[in-house]
Structure 1
Amino acid sequence: MKLKSVDMPPAIQQHAVECAFQLLKNMDCKLNCKLIAWQLKKEFDKIHGPAWHCIVGTSFGSYVTHSVGGFIYFAVGKVSILLFRTAIEVVDKK
C-alpha cells in the first residue's frame, strides 16, 4: 500500500485501507473498479455519514474539493483509490 495524499484522521484512514484490501482480495480474477468504488462509498456513507465519493482505477486524473478531514488517496498495487467527502448543505423546507 502506498499512501499518496491524506487529510483524514488515522482511524478513518485505517478503515479505508482495510476496506479496500478486503474488497480487492474478494475480487475473483477480474478487477471491477466500479464495484469497489460503489462498495467503499456505501460503507463510508453508512459508518461515517453521507456525502462520500470514491474513484477507483489504474489510470485516472482528478481535481476535487473535499471537506476538512475527509480525503485519502492511496494505491494498492496498480489500483489507485481516491475517497473523499463533500459538505452537505441542509435546505430549510419551510
Structure 2
Amino acid sequence: MANGMAIDKSRAVIDKSDMLPEMEDDAVYVAANAMEKHNIDMHIASYIKHEFDRKYKPTWNCIVGKNFGSFIHHDRGGFVSFRLNGLNVLLFKLG
C-alpha cells in the first residue's frame, strides 16, 4: 500500500452487498486508489468516505482494517463489505 504498486482490483472479494453492481465496482476502484495513495487504515477509510460523499451524496461511512466486527444500520442499496489487498472494507450509507 502506498508503495507505488498498482492494486489488482480483480482480486477483490465481495463478502456482502446490496449495491448495484456498478456502484460496487466503483467502491472497489475507489478503495484500490485509496490503498495506492495511503498506508494508514484511517486515511484509506477517509478517502473512500469522502469520494462516495462526493459522487453519491452524503452521508457515507467507511471502516477499513484487518480485523473488526460490526453491527450497523444502512440505507437500502448503500452497503458493501469486501476484502482487497489484505484489508477488509465496510462501506455504508446512512441518512
Q: One fold, TM greater than 0.5?
A: yes
How many aligned residue pairs are there?
84
1:79 alignment counterpart: 87
Measure, in 2, the Cα distance between the counterparts of 1:13 and 1:55.
16
Give the number of the structure whose alpha-carbon radius of gyration is greater: 1
Measure, in 1, the Cα distance between the counterparts of 2:24 and 2:18.
9
The partner residue of 1:56 within 56, 64, 71 is: 64
2:75 alignment counterpart: 67
Q: Does 1:20 align with 2:51?
A: no
Scaled by the length of structure 2, the TM-score of the pair is 0.84
Give the gaps of 5 or more residues in structure 1. 88-94
Give the gaps of 5 or more residues in structure 2. 1-11
C-alpha displacement at 1:22, in angstroms?
1.6
2:22 alignment counterpart: 11
RMSD of the alignment, in Å? Answer: 0.9
